[in-house]
């Protein structure tokens, strides 16, 4: 048991990271300070702000200073943005249908299922957020890959494009 104590040092969820330290890190991030990010709806601004603050606090508690800490911030930001974009995309499909400009999505697409089977999209969102919640709502890095996959997007850029 004593061999694991160094791994736990500084990793408890009770460790408080100052708001000032989080704000400074966000100011220096590629997204910049949260207050300068444009949001389409005010409800999501609060959700994003809270999630981003928790994510940065997670990074401070779990990652050493330096490049790994900066990478953690970047990964958190990217994941939160991609998660929101995936939700917005699904909402767009559900509201506007399967025809976008001259393109119509067919039966073998995620868009088709999002439109015709909204319960599947709802299940996917609930699943992704249940993992995030079960993990303590600090580390948001899994939200982007999970929700983007459900929306038919390629978070990692690994899918071959014909």
pLDDT in tens, 10-63: 344 456 899 999 999 999 999 999 999 888 777 888 999 999 999 999 999 998
User: How would residue 7 be classed by pLDDT, with cut points 50, 70 and 90?
Assistant: very low
| Element holding 120 (H helix, E strand) | helix 118-134
CB atoms within 10 A of CB 133: 10
User: How would residue 2 be classed by pLDDT, with cut points 50, 70 and 90?
Assistant: very low
User: Six-digit token pair at 21?
Assistant: 């330290």
Q: What is the pTM of this model?
A: 0.83
Which among 78, 63, 96, 94 has a CA at the least distance from the CA of 29?
A: 78
| Element holding 104 (H helix, E strand) | strand 103-104
CA distance 82 to 150: 12
């Amino acid at each position: 048991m004593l061999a694991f104590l160094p791994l736990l040092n500084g990793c408890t969820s009770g460790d408080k990271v100052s708001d000032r330290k989080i704000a400074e890190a966000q100011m220096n991030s590629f997204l910049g300070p949260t207050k300068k990010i444009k949001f389409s709806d005010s409800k999501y601004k609060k959700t994003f702000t809270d999630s981003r603050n928790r994510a940065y606090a997670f990074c401070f508690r779990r990652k050493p200073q330096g490049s790994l800490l900066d990478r953690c911030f970047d990964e958190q930001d990217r994941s939160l943005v991609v998660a929101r974009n995936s939700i917005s995309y699904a909402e767009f499909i559900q509201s506007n249908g399967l025809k976008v400009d001259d393109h119509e999505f067919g039966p073998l697409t995620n868009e088709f299922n999002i439109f015709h089977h909204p319960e599947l999209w709802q299940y996917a969102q609930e699943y992704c957020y249940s993992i995030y919640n079960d993990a303590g709502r600090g580390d948001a890095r899994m939200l982007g890959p999970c929700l983007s996959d459900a929306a038919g997007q390629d978070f990692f850029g690994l899918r071959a494009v014909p």
